[in-house]
Structure 1
Amino acid sequence: MKKFVKVYNDIMTYIALVCLLGFVISVLIQVFSRTFLPFFPSWTEEAARYLFIYMVAFGGSVAVRKNEYVGVEILSDMLPEKAQRILKIAILIALAVFSGYVLINSTMGFALIKYRMVSTAMQIPMQYVYGSLLVFFGLLVFSYILEIILVLTKQDTRE
């Protein structure tokens, strides 16, 4: 299980890094062309926005696994170890259920309905943009389930 979780984290990290690199390149092209050229490509702003959205989508699951989301632990640290584990599992279950709820509603509300629309500058179908909701919340649900399993089996794979 530890090896699977490590490979999963590595894959999500690399995909998020590729999106970050594309985002930075797109912004640099935009800044350079607006500063030094008489014209600028219109697609760079949209590309930067969409790459940023997908970077957050893939990076979110890594944040769950590395416990990097903001949390208040002052009260839970006062509890005995068994109560801490129970509280952590309850919180993870609540977060997984909430993410699953948003996943189901975002599928019908955005990703499937917007298939006819295209973006203004890049002319790509908006279903790929709104599909980031499916990716983000799907990966969150999967990551929370992995985390619940690891807490129940008392395995810690944090790096």
Structure 2
Amino acid sequence: MSAPAYELFGPLDALLGGTATIEYVLLGLLLANMVTRVFAHRRNVAEAAGGNVFRIRPLIPGLADEAPGDLTRHPAHVVTNLALLLASFYYTTLHQHSGIVFTSLVLGVFITDFFEFESRCVDFRRDLDIEPPKGAIAASLLALLYVGYLSLFQFIAPVWSAVV
């Protein structure tokens, strides 16, 4: 893809060296988000099974709305969620169409993660089994398909154009 006619973020644009690099960054962040989701789920299951809840300080002061004895969010998963969201907003400044589509998918992942965590907290309070975050996994896979298409299609483009 061609470089944009302007540099909105100046040094950040120069550091990333064009739009192809940010697509790989998005792919890496999304894969990291999926891995941290596994760690977060394992931690929540361990918290529910053992009864000992890991207490962490909230990332943003004043947002400690969890009840005592509730499940906690995994800090690495929170960081990857926020980094993925900010990187998708940055990608929107480079390519409006694909950036808006990807940002919509990432917002879907973000919102799904938020509500599925709250659902797991309710399951924990009612002594139900903690289920895996199926909705967030599905939303992540959909976002992975799209960002994979954006970043990796150039490698199969010659074969694809020969067939289609």
- Both structures adopt the same fold (TM-score exceeding 0.5): no
TM value normalised by structure 2: 0.34
More helix by share: 1
